[in-house]
Amino acid sequence: MFQVPTKTQYAIRALVHLVHAKSASVASIAEAEHIPSKYLEAILGKLKNAGLLISERGRNGGYRLAKDPTLIPMSEVVQATEGEIRLVECVDNAAVCILGEGCLPRHFWLGLKSAVDLYLESVTLAEIAGPETSST
Amino acid sequence: MFQVPTKTQYAIRALVHLVHAKSASVASIAEAEHIPSKYLEAILGKLKNAGLLISERGRNGGYRLAKDPTLIPMSEVVQATEGEIRLVECVDNAAVCILGEGCLPRHFWLGLKSAVDLYLESVTLAEIAGPETSST
DNA sequence: TATAATTCCTACTAAATAAGTCTGAATATA
DNA sequence: TATATTCAGACTTATTTAGTAGGAATTATA
């Protein structure tokens, strides 16, 4: 449980890269971060669809952040790569559980989900990227 | 990320059953909880090896809790079925990370792990099992 | 002592998910 | 037009999870 997929780790590395680089192509990020470039391509596509990145096609194209990293909670990043976190079926879909509201294990899982969500919402991409090294 | 394996959900259901039943065979738990009995067999074996259960072989044998459920934090249960939680390689094994202590993503993952661990340690099996229904 | 009910052990199969590749179209720039 | 790029989908491979099969070891009891 709770093995973080490399997909997500890659996504974070790429985003951190973009915080510092302003703009970069898939190939350049892949090389700098040692990520298979075709795989990264798909991951950045997801981040774009989630509204975290903006892309420019054609020559001199590439990706850049769609908003200030201080405004991007990590919960958004995780959600973008993996979709909604669903610990157990019954947590999101109470109808599945015969016991319904009275189900104690369900409360347990809800609590865990909320602990995770709260943490992910409390950290921003900017904090993970650290102090800007570039000028201005 | 964070899909809880059915293995662990089964383990919890079985443990809750044993909180109320005092003692039961694999077959009886499997039937009551609708869990494939051969699979459950393996799961209870793990819980036993982790020191959560005590077994009795032979006729009239079965499993019972090794200690009071108020003394069993859910962290122990999860650990028993899945082994140590390892979010990302570098979290447990700092040597893997080139950046070492200065690695901000690593701090992020450490924080997440600690949020999860704290929660799991804060809930006991007794709380999940709910009020005892049997007398005495 | 024979039998039945049980845990225990090891190997195997099947299903699901994650990781990664391939091919090529669409788009922009020089 | 040639080149560098994103975009889209199908495809392959690897890893993990879920579940099954068969039988050995142990124990109570008839």
What is the Cα–Cα distance from B1 to A46, expressed in whole angstroms? 16
Q: For domain A6-129, which CATH number applies: 1.10.10.10, 3.30.565.10, 3.40.50.1370, 1.10.260.40? A: 1.10.10.10
Instruction: Judge whether A71 and A125 are in contact, CB under 8 Å.
Output: no
* Lowest mean pLDDT segment, chosen from A29-43, B27-41, B119-133: B119-133
Q: Tell me if B1 and A78 make a contact (CB, 8 A cut-off).
A: yes
**Three-class SS of chain B:** CCCCCHHHHHHHHHHHHHHHHCCECHHHHHHHHCCCHHHHHHHHHHHHHCCCEEEECCCCCEEEECCCHHHCEHHHHHHHHHCCCCCCHHHHCHHHCCCHHHCHHHHHHHHHHHHHHHHHHHCEHHHHHCCCCCCC
What is the Cα–Cα distance from A59 to A94, expressed in whole angstroms? 50
pLDDT at position A98, please?
62
For residue A99, the tally of other CB atoms under 10 A from its CB is 11
User: Domain spans of chain A?
Assistant: 6-129
Indicate whether this model's pTM tops 0.85: yes
For chains A and B, count residue pairs whose Cβ atoms are closer than 8 Å. Answer: 88
The pLDDT confidence band at residue A87, using thresholds 50, 70 and 90, is confident
> What is the token pair recorded at B12?
């919890």
In this model, does residue B94 exceed pLDDT 50? Answer: yes
Protein residue minimizing CA–C1' distance to D9 = A42
- Residues 83-122, chain B: which have Cβ within 8 Å of A? 85-88, 104-105, 108-109, 111-113, 115-116, 118-120
In this model, does residue B123 exceed pLDDT 90? Answer: yes
Q: For A103-126, how does the pLDDT look when each residue is reduced to its tens digit (9 = 90+)?
A: 788 889 999 999 999 999 999 999
Residue B49 identity (one-letter amino acid): N
> What is the token pair recorded at A21?
């680089």
Name the DSSP letter for residue A5. P
Q: Chain B residues with CB inside 8 Å of A13's CB? A: 105
pLDDT at position A43, please?
98
pLDDT at position A135, please?
45
- Protein-proximal nucleotides of chain D (any atom < 7 Å from a CB): 2-10, 16-22, 25-29
pLDDT at position A108, please?
94
The CA-CA-CA angle for residues A101, A119, A76, to 5°, reads: 95
**CA dihedral (A119, B108, B125, B15) positive or negative:** positive
Spell out the residues 6+ positions from residue B117 whose beta carbon is closer than 8 angstroms to its own. B75, B85
In this model, does residue A32 exceed pLDDT 60? Answer: yes
In chain A, positions 40-69 with C-beta closer than 7 Å to nucleic chain D are 41-42, 44-45, 48-49, 55-63
The CA-CA-CA angle for residues A100, A101, A105, to 5°, reads: 85
> What is the token pair recorded at A89?
């079926």
Q: Chain A residues with CB inside 8 Å of B129's CB? A: 104
pLDDT at position B99, please?
62
Phi/psi for B96 (5° steps) reads -65, -30
